[in-house]
Structure 1
Amino acid sequence: MSWTDYRIAREKMVREQLIARGIMDERVIAAMREIPRHLFLDQEAGPQAYSDHAFPIGYSQTMSQPFTVAYLSECLELKGDERVLEIGTGSGYQAAVLSKLAGEVFTIERIGPLADKAAETIKALNIHNVRIKVGDGAQGWDSGVLFDRVLFTAAARSVSHELLMQLRDGGFLLGPVQREDGGQEIVKMIRKGSACTLKRLKECAFVPMMREGEMDARDIPINRERFRGG
């Protein structure tokens, strides 16, 4: 396919999968329209890169479907100057989209070859505000670095206190969590001092988060606040 063909496929993706399903943030739509999703997948994916489903990227990991990437990006409520931490770089596509929406993007990937490939693709696209490192995302970035948003893109059973404390006061963490009944849901955890408020957004299905050590949320004071969301 030519570059023009991919651009047409991307425009169709935006129109039929995002706008038609309720994505309204114009900056998110513009970012999804700009970033060439097919470059983050093997060449064999071709135009299917823009279809409405997730893609395997190796090591039992996947790239989320376009709507999920757009939905998470919209839920982050970014204005353009925020510092964002992403847990689970994967292909690097989500980080590339966020690079158009935030001031700085830090992203951690536990699997070295995935991190390397993501870094190569992002560099090839001349994106300069994304930093990638290999490590255990459960512990966050280096100590002393605070973030306005934290996004995790694999289903966690709990969230570590260390990760929560890397949020600025008033910032929030967003991502899928594993429920005790086996289901998953996307939640938003807003930091308020040393505690946080938990809001439940929607049902979801993500690959489980890989970790070196167990994440334990029992020592995190959480005010559980149920609400209906889309």
Structure 2
Amino acid sequence: MTSPASESPPPLNGRSFAVLRELMVERQIAARGVHDPRVLAAMRKVPREAFLPEPMRDLAYEDAPVPIAGEQTMSQPYIVALMAEALLLQGGDNVLEIGAGSGYAAAVLGEIAGHVATVERIAALAEAAAAKLAGLGYRNVEVHQGDGSRGWPPDAPYDAIVVAAAGPQVPDSLKAQLKIGGRLVMPVGADQHAQQLLRLTRLGDADFKHDRLGDVRFVPLLGAEGWQQAEPAGRTTRENR
């Protein structure tokens, strides 16, 4: 866990970002059934507004995705919290995130885990996320640019892997990089526009328990072990970063 440098954001409509953050946790997250104290504490601490451009910061605590660069979005807070809770982190874990996006979800994971490796396909997003995380003091989060469908072998095996994009199946490379007893959370579906959020628990070399966590909608996981290309724009909205 890190102790990021605190920011002092200006009031928003008479309420500080800190107040809006607390309301977000209470009304959008805890009220929907996320109860892991580590996750709730992380969501209360990470300054979501700091991961958005200045003109977009007034949208930081809305119950909805917020657009960022690269035609992507930072996903709604509930989705970030739901996926973090589904990883069943104990504190001090070695975690892999696929799809760094703005870096916000990696910061939330960094508040709980011992080490987070996050891989982003879009170079400009990876660079911006790395700079923001470093500026906020997250020394235990490393951002890498590359094909996330292949994971990040140098830091494997992982206690937990979270994939912030949807594939037609869970990549074999990610399964192989998960520890025995580790958990992998990822949206999976044959349709790029609708998926099931799955949690895989590795029980043995080739033995996995599958839990279905609900219907979701994520952008496609592009790469060697994901989709080869995105379907035409117009229906897909990134729900997870």
Instruction: Quickly name the TM-score band, shorter chain normalised.
Output: 0.7 to 0.9
Q: Which runs of 5+ in 2 are unaligned?
A: 1-8, 228-241
Paired residue type of 1:14? V
Contact (CA 8 Å) 1:14, 1:29: kept in 2 or not?
yes
> In the alignment, which residue of structure 2 is the partner of 1:224?
none
Whether 2:138 is the aligned partner of 1:130: answer no
> In the alignment, which residue of structure 2 is the partner of 1:188?
199
User: Aligned-pair distance for 1:20?
Assistant: 1.4
Q: Which runs of 5+ in 1 are unaligned?
A: 217-230
> In the alignment, which residue of structure 2 is the partner of 1:208?
220
Whether 2:56 is the aligned partner of 1:45: answer yes
> In the alignment, which residue of structure 1 is the partner of 2:68?
57
CA RMSD, aligned part only? 1.8
User: Aligned-pair distance for 1:58?
Assistant: 2.2
Paired residue type of 1:196? F
TM-score, L = length of structure 1: 0.88
Change (3 A) 1:168 1:61: same
> In the alignment, which residue of structure 2 is the partner of 1:23?
34
Distance in 2, matches of 1:70 and 1:162, equals: 25
> In the alignment, which residue of structure 1 is the partner of 2:81?
70
User: Aligned-pair distance for 1:214?
Assistant: 3.9
> In the alignment, which residue of structure 2 is the partner of 1:79?
90
User: Aligned-pair distance for 1:79?
Assistant: 1.0
> In the alignment, which residue of structure 2 is the partner of 1:176?
187
> In the alignment, which residue of structure 1 is the partner of 2:235?
none
One of 10, 22, 28 as aligned partner of 1:2: 10
User: Aligned-pair distance for 1:9?
Assistant: 1.1
Counting matched residue pairs gives 215
Change (3 A) 1:29 1:128: same
Q: Which runs of 4+ in 1 moved over 6 A?
A: none
Change (3 A) 1:168 1:89: same
Superposed, which structure 2 residues align to 1:69-148 within 5 Å?
Answer: 69-143=80-154, 145-148=156-159
- Give the share of equivalent positions with the same residue, in percent: 41
User: Aligned-pair distance for 1:144?
Assistant: 6.8
Deviations 1:57-88 (A, max 9, x none): 12222111000001111111111121000001
Deviating more after overlay: 176-185 vs 150-159 = 176-185
> In the alignment, which residue of structure 1 is the partner of 2:46?
35
TM-score, L = length of structure 2: 0.84
Paired residue type of 1:72? M
User: Aligned-pair distance for 1:130?
Assistant: 0.4
Contact (CA 8 Å) 2:120, 2:144: kept in 1 or not?
yes
> In the alignment, which residue of structure 2 is the partner of 1:150?
161
Contact (CA 8 Å) 2:119, 2:148: kept in 1 or not?
yes
Contact (CA 8 Å) 2:150, 2:225: kept in 1 or not?
no
Whether 2:168 is the aligned partner of 1:160: answer no
> In the alignment, which residue of structure 1 is the partner of 2:5?
none
Contact (CA 8 Å) 1:9, 1:50: kept in 2 or not?
yes
Distance in 1, matches of 2:171 and 2:32, equals: 33
Paired residue type of 2:66? F
Paired residue type of 1:10? R
